[in-house]
Chain A
């Protein structure tokens, strides 16, 4: 049973931030709320106030320009991202990822801001966005700041947000030329959460890997940046063998748990295979 709370419905972002600072440690921001209601129902999460920002249309936007890149408002739903032609054209990997993020019902109501703030290690968007070098804009009554999504995650369900802050925008830099990005998760039900996942971004210079960014999902308490996998690739001539090496390295960087779905070792095995494949996939796209 969910514990009682008082519901606050701000009319705009400014109001929301004031409410947030008024009730700092006794309130919880709920956007779509689909993730957060589950721990609340289990009594794992109890709060005095709920600030419902689902209705904040001023944060429901998708903007793009070639210099600034992509800007997505926090209350934009997964479904809008999935359906956005701009994103489909500029960041197809985001659409592919969203397409397998839970059910359509969930994507219809759930928001990108809520998903990122929930900081579930098995979340799909984070690894992809980190591999794309995304940043989050955080706002509080005191002001705004921007931080890389990578630093944003500190621990399981923990973020670097201050208690009076909320995500207002996700910023994704423009895709460099000759760059490919790919995302794959392993599961048995198509749209189920991943037992493990990997996002790969590869920038090519002729047949050499100019830049690479491998990020693993559900292979640690936060999204794992597989830096040594990146090292394996950067500056090298691309080859299937190199992709496999990157896989080995990624497995080394990861720190997975054992659960009923897969043992620690099997997760490592899977991530080797997935990384190998996604690096290759990204490489092929980059070379198009």
Chain B
């Protein structure tokens, strides 16, 4: 064990004091607990937005722009309205025309109207929406809407869009520069002077589609009481409620968002989308429920995507591998609107420094508008791009200097207690162990000897545990929970966290059961309904286990304390109430566990004692004084074994190893699922998920041409959990949901470098690039030989 974790072990003691009411060893945490929503999902009982039907429900379809950049001169829907079965058509003119955005704190970053009023900025942007009695009629009606466009010149590449004569996509945004971000510490110029070796590289990282299995869909119902209720497949019921209220000019309290079962999110479902907005506008006009379901093609061309980035990286190191300074410049393709782009641009810059100590670091990021599909957050949130560039360059540097890449990483790695100057404090860090585990795995494999055309590559990474910066400008605490104890001992837990498949409901149930001292099956969890659940920022940035988890602990401690007061009164003879605890439905004296009473009895006494009120506990959590970015950081190493057919460039994943530090695990099954899932998505980003655009048009908006990892391509994914203890985490836990999307592409690139000596600077890595790189290498070597002979 490393000194860091020893340190954190020490912290564990005082930690238990802060959660004073659960002194004895946890008995439920990190045990095998199937998801509490499992049976509903395995038997077809779970009702997704996709399945919702309401009385008198109409079906909506959206007319989309065929042009990447055009003025809307006129929209004539008369032919559509004349079609029997069509109930109504809405356009931007039926809205308040408010420019909305999820960065509510900064008006100039709120730039998207969803149903655009005067101008379209990408192919697929909603122009009008129809509601009809059947989906088929709605679809037919779409073709009957006549739109007059004045087509404007478009620009699709950020480098082009920044040129003087490039068309201006948003009025007043010079050179189409949407956001710039700058991070700096130390004095780069000085520290580059100290470096023995400086390397500069250009990289390009492609986009990626979230490709949630449930396409964007919504059912909205506006009623004469001037109240709006909608079912929506999203990652944050509260965000959607608040955004919708704002853009429709309603009070938040009059808007109810229900997102009970969600068919995947991955960072693509916490912004306003066309499905929900058009459904709401139509419903408000017609006073009928309206359902809109995106086709897969719509989901590809008219939502948002991972941000493509051009990276320039300059790194200076000493002969012995000590890092001196790094300078990075990023120009990202923002697409038509901002979305979460500002965050992605900051985070890619921040995580490009991860997980290493840089005496000085300088990052300039530029996000540029183009007439393409908007880009935004996606699992990893800018970090996969950052790692693709950083981790490959570091591997190349180690080779150039003849150093052990693992040891060079270790030498410069983060450690518990390190402070990223002006940015972040590292409370716990398992990087050192991760390096050791990965190094041993690789050594063992290479000692046994790899089959022909096999090679191993690896990459380090780190990630955040939820965001700190309140860009949404929410007055509420970031997370909150309410726990209610019934007289029969059953427990109802209300959280604002959104269950999108990651298992958050189960994780909250586990935390609740552990803290209260009951069993998971005693607990009902309610989430994803803004009328019944407290506000919570929702599922993004790997924040829920940490933040909502802490809120649940506080709520349970509140309730538990109230309960124990009654137990104390009955059992008496104790010094302080903290001498009592509850475990597995048994209320007992900590020093004399056999002395106690059943939980259900206590529930009855307590309820009567409270003159019949049900015992309720409330908990809130908002990170404070935790730097700029996140309260905690996870660390990991990803190693992959690939097989390459050098003649065709055919690449296949053969085996892998994940060493991941997520603090102390809470939901074991959920953790494994998150890591394996992140791996498959990250590997796809590395070599399959190519997303080409031509003149603003996505060339493969379907699952025939957009390739993703399938079962037959998935290697074994053994996982080494490194249990550190995160002082601020619920029972020591931290991020597990996104981090592993970050290292894998770089690990594959590094495998190609270690095996064949080629440097891949563009991802996804496609077969012809490999063949090309091998050819160039061969020619270079020939030339070199030739030169030698010449002498």
Provide the B760-791 mask, 1 if CB < 8 A to any CB of A, else 0.
00000001100100000000000000000000
Q: Beyond A1-B139, A260-B692, is A270–B648 a contact (Cβ under 8 Å)?
A: yes
- List residues of B (118-161) whose CB comes within 8 Å of A's CBs: 135-136, 139-140
A266 touches B139 (CB 8 A): no
Provide the A173-202 mask, 1 if CB < 8 A to any CB of B, else 0.
000000000000010111111000000000
Provide the B704-731 mask, 1 if CB < 8 A to any CB of A, else 0.
1101001011000000000000000000
Q: Beyond A1-B139, A273-B647, is A189–B712 a contact (Cβ under 8 Å)?
A: yes
- List residues of A (263-278) whose CB comes within 8 Å of B's CBs: 263, 266, 269-270, 273-274
B713 touches A190 (CB 8 A): yes
The listed residue (B687, B690, B707, B712) touching A191 by CB distance below 8 A is: B712
Q: Verify if B570 is at the interface (C-beta below 8 Å from A).
A: no
Q: Verify if B532 is at the interface (C-beta below 8 Å from A).
A: no
- B-side contacts of A260, CB under 8 Å: 690, 692, 699-700, 705
Tally of contact residues, B, Cβ under 8 A: 23
* Cα separation A191 to B707 with both chains bound (whole Å): 12
- B-side contacts of A273, CB under 8 Å: 647-648
- A-side contacts of B707, CB under 8 Å: 188-189, 192
> In the complex, which residue of chain A has the Cβ closest to the Cβ of B652?
A188
Min CB–CB distance B698 → chain A (angstroms): 10
Q: Verify if B688 is at the interface (C-beta below 8 Å from A).
A: yes
Secondary structure dominating the interface of A: loop
- B-side contacts of A262, CB under 8 Å: 767-768
Provide the B665-702 mask, 1 if CB < 8 A to any CB of A, else 0.
00000000000000000000001101010000001100
Q: Verify if B650 is at the interface (C-beta below 8 Å from A).
A: yes
> In the complex, which residue of chain A has the Cβ closest to the Cβ of B140?
A1
- B-side contacts of A186, CB under 8 Å: 648, 650
Min CB–CB distance A188 → chain B (angstroms): 6
- B-side contacts of A193, CB under 8 Å: 704
- B-side contacts of A1, CB under 8 Å: 135-136, 139-140
> In the complex, which residue of chain B has the Cβ closest to the Cβ of A190?
B712
A261 touches B650 (CB 8 A): no
- A-side contacts of B140, CB under 8 Å: 1
A188 touches B688 (CB 8 A): yes
Min CB–CB distance A35 → chain B (angstroms): 12
- B-side contacts of A190, CB under 8 Å: 710, 712-713
* Cα separation A32 to B266 with both chains bound (whole Å): 36
- A-side contacts of B692, CB under 8 Å: 260
- B-side contacts of A189, CB under 8 Å: 688, 707, 710, 712-713
* Cα separation A262 to B650 with both chains bound (whole Å): 12
* Cα separation A188 to B708 with both chains bound (whole Å): 9
* Cα separation A270 to B766 with both chains bound (whole Å): 13
* Cα separation A174 to B603 with both chains bound (whole Å): 82
Min CB–CB distance B223 → chain A (angstroms): 30
A261 touches B712 (CB 8 A): no
- A-side contacts of B650, CB under 8 Å: 186, 188
- A-side contacts of B687, CB under 8 Å: 188
Q: Beyond A188-B650, A190-B710, A190-B712, is A269–B136 a contact (Cβ under 8 Å)?
A: no
* Cα separation A11 to B556 with both chains bound (whole Å): 69
* Cα separation A193 to B690 with both chains bound (whole Å): 17
> In the complex, which residue of chain B has the Cβ closest to the Cβ of A186?
B648
* Cα separation A269 to B771 with both chains bound (whole Å): 10
> In the complex, which residue of chain A has the Cβ closest to the Cβ of B651?
A188
- A-side contacts of B699, CB under 8 Å: 260
Q: Which interface residue of B648, B707, B771 has the most chain A CB atoms within 10 A?
A: B648
* Cα separation A207 to B531 with both chains bound (whole Å): 81
- List residues of A (179-237) whose CB comes within 8 Å of B's CBs: 186, 188-193
Min CB–CB distance B518 → chain A (angstroms): 44
Min CB–CB distance A183 → chain B (angstroms): 16
* Cα separation A260 to B650 with both chains bound (whole Å): 16
* Cα separation A189 to B690 with both chains bound (whole Å): 14
* Cα separation A261 to B767 with both chains bound (whole Å): 9
Min CB–CB distance A277 → chain B (angstroms): 9
* Cα separation A18 to B451 with both chains bound (whole Å): 61
- B-side contacts of A274, CB under 8 Å: 648
* Cα separation A178 to B767 with both chains bound (whole Å): 36
* Cα separation A273 to B650 with both chains bound (whole Å): 12
Provide the A97-109 mask, 1 if CB < 8 A to any CB of B, else 0.
0000000000000
- A-side contacts of B690, CB under 8 Å: 260
> In the complex, which residue of chain A has the Cβ closest to the Cβ of B698?
A260
* Cα separation A190 to B709 with both chains bound (whole Å): 10
* Cα separation A199 to B699 with both chains bound (whole Å): 29
Min CB–CB distance A241 → chain B (angstroms): 16
A-B residue pairs in contact (CB < 8 Å), sample of 29: A1-B135, A1-B139, A1-B140, A186-B648, A188-B650, A188-B651, A188-B687, A189-B688, A189-B707, A189-B710, A189-B712, A190-B710, A190-B712, A190-B713, A191-B710, A192-B707, A193-B704, A260-B699, A260-B700, A260-B705, A262-B768, A266-B767, A266-B768, A266-B771, A269-B771, A270-B648, A273-B647, A273-B648, A274-B648
If A1-B139, A260-B705 are given as contacts, then 9 extra A-B residue pairs at C-beta distance below 8 Å, sorted by A number, are A188-B651, A188-B688, A189-B713, A190-B713, A192-B707, A260-B690, A261-B705, A263-B768, A266-B767
B-side interface residues toward A, CB under 8 Å?
135-136, 139-140, 647-648, 650-651, 687-688, 690, 692, 699-700, 704-705, 707, 710, 712-713, 767-768, 771
A-B pairs, 7 with minimum CB distance = A190-B712, A266-B768, A273-B647, A260-B699, A260-B692, A1-B139, A1-B136
